[in-house]
Structure 1
Amino acid sequence: MQKSRMDEKTEEVTVSTQLNKRLKKILDVRLENDVDTLEALKELSSFYKENTIQGRRNFVSQIEKQSLSINEDFLSELRKVKESLDGIRSDVISMNDMVQEMKSSLHNTKTKTHNLIEQTTRLKSESQKLSLQKEVAGEFLKTFQLNATEQAHLRGDQENTITKDFFPVLARVNTIHQNCKILLQAGHQTAAIEIMEQMALYQEIGLERLYRWTLNNCKNIELPDISLLLGDAMLWLLERPVLFQYVLDEYATARRAVLVRGFLDALTLGGPGGTPKPIEMHAHDPQRYVGDMLAWLHQAIPVEAENLQSLLKKCDHSLIGAQIQQAMTNITEGVCPPLQVRVEQILANDAEATVLYTITNLLRFYQKVIQEVVSGGSLDKNLEELHSASFAAFVRTLDGQVRRLSDRIEPPSSELTPVLGITRIMSLLRDVLAATSVAEQRKQDISQIISCIVDPLLLVVNESAVRLTSTDMAVYMLNCIYQLQATLSLYEYVEDRLERLQAQSEAQIDTLTSEQTSFLVANLSLSPIYTILQEQDRSHLSTTPGMDPASLKNFLSKLDSFLSMPDILLLPQIRLLQSSNYRKVVQKRSSEVIATIYKQLYEAVHNPANLYQNPTILMPRKPEQVLELLSPP
């Protein structure tokens, strides 16, 4: 009994636990996140309108009625679907019957038309093969043959004119000829050889026609307007070097005639309408005459070079550089005879040295300028010959002028300044040196000009001064050398000559220094004192005649006067020196000699062994003071 009660209690506890779990599970449910529950509640609200006791009692029956209604609706709709499917099935069966009927009919038809289909297929295959062969043949002809239009462009018309369509055809002939190598490699030797022979014939026809056309155009060129077609033509003719050279020679011949005619017209007729005037109107002025001729060539020759470059602009100049130079040589050689005749005629006349040297420089300058355009040709050689002849004529004329001026040199005047003849020679030297211009030859020319003028000039100066006294001769020579140095110092490359002139002037300065020193020694009564000071035994000088205090006072008195006015004892000839620097040098050197003698005397007087009383009073000035007072300002 007790056990039964315990079982009942246990059962109650179990039921209570299960209810608690269910209740907790229900309470833990989050209805806002349970989509199915929300949808169910939503559907429930559509037919459960009132929450009453009667409604709650009939809740289950209502749900069952609603479920039954839904199932009935579903069954009704499903019945309609089944009826539709039954109709479709009957249609499919009907269609299947028709397909089977058609299949049977098609099989019968295919059996009857099998032979026709096989024949049609075979004909279609053959048609495709023939079409492919036609395309291949067309492409072959297009690749390895010229069409009628291209042949017409290549052969040209009766007027033998070349148009821009000619060169693409010629290029195509070359391309076909090159492509034949592919045929040879592919084993089509017969076709390749025939095509190559045909293209070679076309090529010869085209190049021959091109040669005649180019040759005709080059012959008739007056003022070259080198067109693009001519440039293309020369490029193609380069493949035939002989034809190319013929055309180039013909062009050079035509342009040579034009250049010579233009040069002669410029000499005799002048420019269009007489402006500029004919060059030969200035034949009386050799410098302008030669300069205008060379300037005209300097303007015309680069134009010819530009025209030739334009004609050959499409050619590789590294391969035809020699031919271009030869063509320019041929073009310019025609102006050599008229130029040479006129320049030689000028050189044959008695022109002045400065004029001839200016012409020499003009020839040298324009030779260098023209040489940059055309070198090594007849014109270059002709200009070199004219330059050499002009320089030789200049040297001869310069020597003659210097000799004529030297023959009329006057004796030196009392002022000992350069005479008029020497001044004229120096003026000639300045005029000639002022005409030097070309840097490459300037040093060599100056050296030769100086040798032609300065050496004879110095010789004439020496000869004209030979009858003068040594002092006058030294002053005269120094004045002449000074003017010569002043002239040469304005120019370059004369350092060596200036050094030699300076050496000559030093010799003359030494002569003047010796004369001035002797003059000072004599006027200061210093000669006996100097002689005594040079003797070996100089003890007790105070008692030696000439060295006694009285004699020394006489010398020192004259020295004081000289120190106060150093120029009072200056030689008159030295005052005639044109160079103040030379005067200062002579004065300084002679004064240094006097100062040296004074120093020896000062040391001797202050030497106790010579027994001078009160030497400081007797000679109060120190040697340094004397030297400073004697130094020229």
Structure 2
Amino acid sequence: MVAPPSLSPSLSLLDLSRQSSSPAPIARNPVALRVYKILGTAFDDEASKEALLTLTQLYSSPTTSAKGKEVQRNTDDVQGERQAVATGALAFLDSAPPGDTAARARKNLRRDIETKLGEGSQKFLKAFGEVDQKLDILQSHISAMRSRCDEAQTQLRTTNQACRSLLDRAESLREERQDVERRRSIVTLFLSRFTLADEESEAMVSGEVPIGRRFFAAMDRTYQIREDCRVLMSGEERASQAGLDIMATTASYLEKGFEKLFRWCLSEFRNLGRDAALEVSTNLREAVRRLRRRPELLGALLAAFLAALTNPTTAGARPIELHAHDALRYVGDMLAWVHQAIAAEHEFLESLFGIADARRMVGAARVGGSAEEDIWTAELMDGAVSGLCPPLKTRVLQAVRTQDNSITAYKVASLLQFYTLTMSRTIGPNALLSKTLNETTDAAYKVFFDAIETHGRALLRVALEPNDTSLTPPQALLNHVQVLRSVLSLHASDSSDETDSAIGEIQRILDIMIDPALQMVVSAAEEKEEKERRKGRTWDRKVFVLNGLTYIASVLEPFAFTSEKRKGLERLIDERVQELIEEHYENLLHDTGLKDAIRVSESKQPSEPLSHLPAAEPAALSRALHTFATWLSYLEAVHSTRLAQLSLPELHARVHRAALRRLGLAYADLCEAVRNPANRYEAATTLLGSERPFGSMAALWQIFGMEEEDAEVGT
């Protein structure tokens, strides 16, 4: 390679320009040629300028680069830019050994550029690293500030919730306080309206307070309280405990007040007998007027009844109220006491008026006469026992309505009905006590019927246990039917006279209790079967329904008065049995392998030979008969595993024998069709005789354990 001649620094751009434009021959120096080429090239674009400047900086000394940059900074036009580039290039050529720089540039240009780029990238990475560190520090500060903000926000939210809770609690307490104040004012007003003041109660019971205006005012106040309490309780379906307590308390005050008034009147009458001048005071007239409202007989019976309830005077007797928790005994004791008291009073009145009926046996029903004494006795008895009606009715209704046991409710209702009949025979059906007992009896029966209707509705909501695969009646049905059994037993023991009302009553009980039970058995079985089908399992709904129906029928069977209901239930059982027989027969056809052959034999056209049908051709028929013969050797031929789950063994025998009878008759028809020449079987006798029972119906009935005559009768 020829080294380029060194150019003098004194060579100006003007000379180079002139030489480049001179047509004179130029030296054949490659560098000069390139320089001339560069000088002749227009470097108007920024990319070329930038490339030359970069190349100059890459292969020039710091001084040269500084000069080129200084010239470039002082140049404003294109010619100036060209002069700057040329100056930088000439300076570079002048400072480097001839040929060494160009060769080195050509050889290491790519590497030097990549090195330069790498150094620039390292600087960028270093700068970006510092920036990244600053950003990390800034991010950590931001995260810390955000965490503090979140914590502050959480604390603020917790504080708000706590404050809100405190405000709500304060508001609730304020409302409760207002409600308590309102209730207190209501209670205060109620007590002032329905209780006696201390001065009034002292005037009624204390012997130190004389009979006078204060006593009569307290008695009037007591009557007013009782009247207001009756008005208050008349709007309630069930008497409140507060009303009952008010009536009992005021009745006690009145009893003590009348006792005090009665003793005072006796004392005043004795004093009047001693004085010559009979002057009746105003207090005495008022006392006698008030005593007219409480005849002595009436007061004696009511006082004795109230004493028997709480504090009996008879030695060894216990208060009836002690058994208030036991509704049956409580009601029975009260009715027995009333019945005994009425009988004693009736005997007293009969002896008083000289009424004697020698024809009446002891304990027999009394028959009212038309004599004047009988009319007096009836009127006095009605007036005497009418005072017992309010406390007796109140306590009986309270005991009945708080009863949730249906059996106990029925016992109480039956007891009330018995005493109602007895009382009406003693004091007459039109007496106030008889009417009161009729009302309480109706109320007791209403409670009982409401209870069993509630049981029936609850039974309809019962679903079978999902994991229980047994086919026996569920426990809910057993409990319901057990209640029915108890009620029927009580009715059978009490119904000495089968009146129309008693018959209608038991029929209503049967309808209310049996209809939901039947509906529950069917609907629960269908729901259970659907659930099992969704799980891919089988469950015998028909056997379950029959077990439930037969269990209900077994409860009704011992009682003659359930015959009408039993007939309807037996018809329903017969329908279910026929469905089970049909299904069991289809299962037997499938298990014995005769189903296809028998179905084809039953449905073929008369003109079509049976042997030409695929299901009854000799080979298929032979296989079916072999399957049938194998099935006959199993226990299933005389005892069905599925039907063994029926609760009644006789029902199992009935269904299985009926299905076997149909199977035997179908086999007989098939054998007859095979032997018929029109069906074109070759060696029909041999085909049938190859497998058990060999076409013999007598042998088949013997295997089934049935007589041929029984099979014919069953058809």
TM-score (norm: length of structure 2): 0.49
CA distance in 2, matches of 1:615, 1:303: 97
Q: Secondary structure at the match of 1:276?
A: coil
Q: Secondary structure at the match of 2:388?
A: helix
Which residue pairs with 1:368 in the alignment? Answer: 421
Which residue pairs with 1:615 in the alignment? Answer: 685
CA distance in 2, matches of 1:390, 1:360: 5
Q: How many Å apart are 1:402 and its aligned residue?
A: 3.5
CA distance in 2, matches of 1:315, 1:527: 88
Which residue pairs with 1:422 in the alignment? Answer: 477
CA distance in 2, matches of 1:597, 1:279: 75
Q: 1:527 to 1:348 in 2, by over 3 A?
A: closer
CA distance in 1, matches of 2:324, 2:595: 73
Relative to structure 2, which stretch is displaced further, 254-263 or 366-375?
254-263
Task: Report Cα offsets for 1:275-330 as digits up to 9, x if no partner.
Answer: 23111111111110001111112222222222222223369954234443323222
Which residue pairs with 2:509 in the alignment? Answer: 449
Q: 2:454 aligns with which of 400, 408, 425?
A: 400
Q: 1:595 aligns with which of 664, 671, 675?
A: 664
Which residue pairs with 2:566 in the alignment? Answer: 498
Asked if 1:387 is matched to 2:441, the reply is yes
Relative to structure 2, which stretch is displaced further, 603-612 or 453-462?
603-612
Task: Report Cα offsets for 1:325-375 as digits up to 9, x if no partner.
Answer: 323222221211110111122133243222211111110011111221111
Q: 1:408 to 1:378 in 2, by over 3 A?
A: same
Which residue pairs with 2:247 in the alignment? Answer: none
Q: 1:345 aligns with which of 377, 398, 415?
A: 398
Which residue pairs with 2:489 in the alignment? Answer: 434
Letter in 2 for 1:444: G
CA distance in 1, matches of 2:323, 2:353: 38
Q: 1:267 to 1:314 in 2, by over 3 A?
A: closer
Q: Secondary structure at the match of 1:277?
A: coil
Relative to structure 2, which stretch is displaced further, 287-296 or 583-592?
583-592
Which residue pairs with 1:531 in the alignment? Answer: 599
Asked if 1:284 is matched to 2:325, the reply is yes
CA distance in 2, matches of 1:408, 1:474: 19
Q: How does 1:264-283 map to 2 (within 5 A)?
A: 264-270=306-312, 272-273=314-315, 275-283=316-324
CA contact (8 A) 1:465 1:473 kept: yes
CA distance in 1, matches of 2:607, 2:312: 95
Q: How does 1:129-148 map to 2 (within 5 A)?
A: none
Letter in 1 for 2:434: D
Q: How many Å apart are 1:595 and its aligned residue?
A: 1.4
Q: How many Å apart are 1:516 and its aligned residue?
A: 1.4
Which residue pairs with 1:519 in the alignment? Answer: 587
Q: How many Å apart are 1:519 and its aligned residue?
A: 1.3
Asked if 1:459 is matched to 2:528, the reply is no
CA contact (8 A) 1:405 1:424 kept: no
Task: Report Cα offsets for 1:101-124 as digits up to 9, x if no partner.
Answer: xxxxxxxxxxxxxxxxxxxxxxxx
Q: 1:318 to 1:570 in 2, by over 3 A?
A: same
CA distance in 1, matches of 2:420, 2:558: 28
Q: 1:536 to 1:357 in 2, by over 3 A?
A: same
CA contact (8 A) 1:253 1:330 kept: no
Task: Report Cα offsets for 1:576-609 as digits up to 9, x if no partner.
Answer: 2212122122212211221121121232244455
CA distance in 1, matches of 2:502, 2:698: 51
Q: How many Å apart are 1:471 and its aligned residue?
A: 6.7
Task: Report Cα offsets for 1:63-93 as digits up to 9, x if no partner.
Answer: xxxxxxxxxxxxxxxxxxxxxxxxxxxxxxx
Structure 1 segments of 4 or more deviating over 6 A? Answer: none
Q: How does 1:305-316 map to 2 (within 5 A)?
A: 305-313=346-354
CA distance in 2, matches of 1:632, 1:280: 69
Q: 1:627 to 1:324 in 2, by over 3 A?
A: farther
Relative to structure 2, which stretch is displaced further, 473-482 or 312-321?
312-321
Q: 1:563 to 1:545 in 2, by over 3 A?
A: same
Q: 1:433 to 1:271 in 2, by over 3 A?
A: farther
Task: Report Cα offsets for 1:223-244 as digits up to 9, x if no partner.
Answer: xxxxxxxxxxxxxxxxxxxxxx
Q: How many Å apart are 1:473 and its aligned residue?
A: 1.6
Letter in 2 for 1:360: A
Q: 1:303 to 1:446 in 2, by over 3 A?
A: same
CA contact (8 A) 1:588 1:631 kept: no
CA contact (8 A) 2:547 2:647 kept: yes
Q: Which 5+ residue runs of structure 2 have no aligned equivalent?
A: 1-261, 264-291, 358-368, 531-537, 708-715
Letter in 1 for 2:414: N
CA contact (8 A) 1:606 1:612 kept: no
CA contact (8 A) 1:488 1:498 kept: yes
CA contact (8 A) 2:643 2:656 kept: no
Q: Secondary structure at the match of 1:478?
A: helix
CA distance in 1, matches of 2:355, 2:419: 30
Q: How many Å apart are 1:499 and its aligned residue?
A: 1.9
Q: How does 1:126-165 map to 2 (within 5 A)?
A: none
Q: How many Å apart are 1:550 and its aligned residue?
A: 5.0
CA contact (8 A) 1:516 1:571 kept: no
CA distance in 2, matches of 1:367, 1:327: 19
Relative to structure 2, which stretch is displaced further, 478-487 or 285-294?
478-487
Asked if 1:262 is matched to 2:262, the reply is no
Which residue pairs with 2:371 in the alignment? Answer: 319
CA distance in 1, matches of 2:404, 2:614: 75
RMSD: 3.2
CA distance in 1, matches of 2:423, 2:355: 25
CA distance in 2, matches of 1:583, 1:455: 25
Q: Secondary structure at the match of 1:373?
A: helix
Which residue pairs with 1:69 in the alignment? Answer: none
Q: How many Å apart are 1:478 and its aligned residue?
A: 1.0
Task: Report Cα offsets for 1:124-157 as digits up to 9, x if no partner.
Answer: xxxxxxxxxxxxxxxxxxxxxxxxxxxxxxxxxx
CA distance in 1, matches of 2:407, 2:609: 73
CA contact (8 A) 1:354 1:435 kept: no
Q: Secondary structure at the match of 2:434?
A: helix
Q: Secondary structure at the match of 1:493?
A: helix
TM-score (norm: length of structure 1): 0.55
CA contact (8 A) 1:540 1:609 kept: yes
Which residue pairs with 1:296 in the alignment? Answer: 337
Letter in 2 for 1:604: A
Q: How does 1:26-37 map to 2 (within 5 A)?
A: none
| Percent identity over paired residues | 27
CA contact (8 A) 1:406 1:460 kept: yes
Structure whose alpha-carbon radius of gyration is higher: 1
Which residue pairs with 1:110 in the alignment? Answer: none
Which residue pairs with 1:355 in the alignment? Answer: 408
CA distance in 2, matches of 1:315, 1:485: 53
CA contact (8 A) 1:347 1:356 kept: yes
Which residue pairs with 1:20 in the alignment? Answer: none
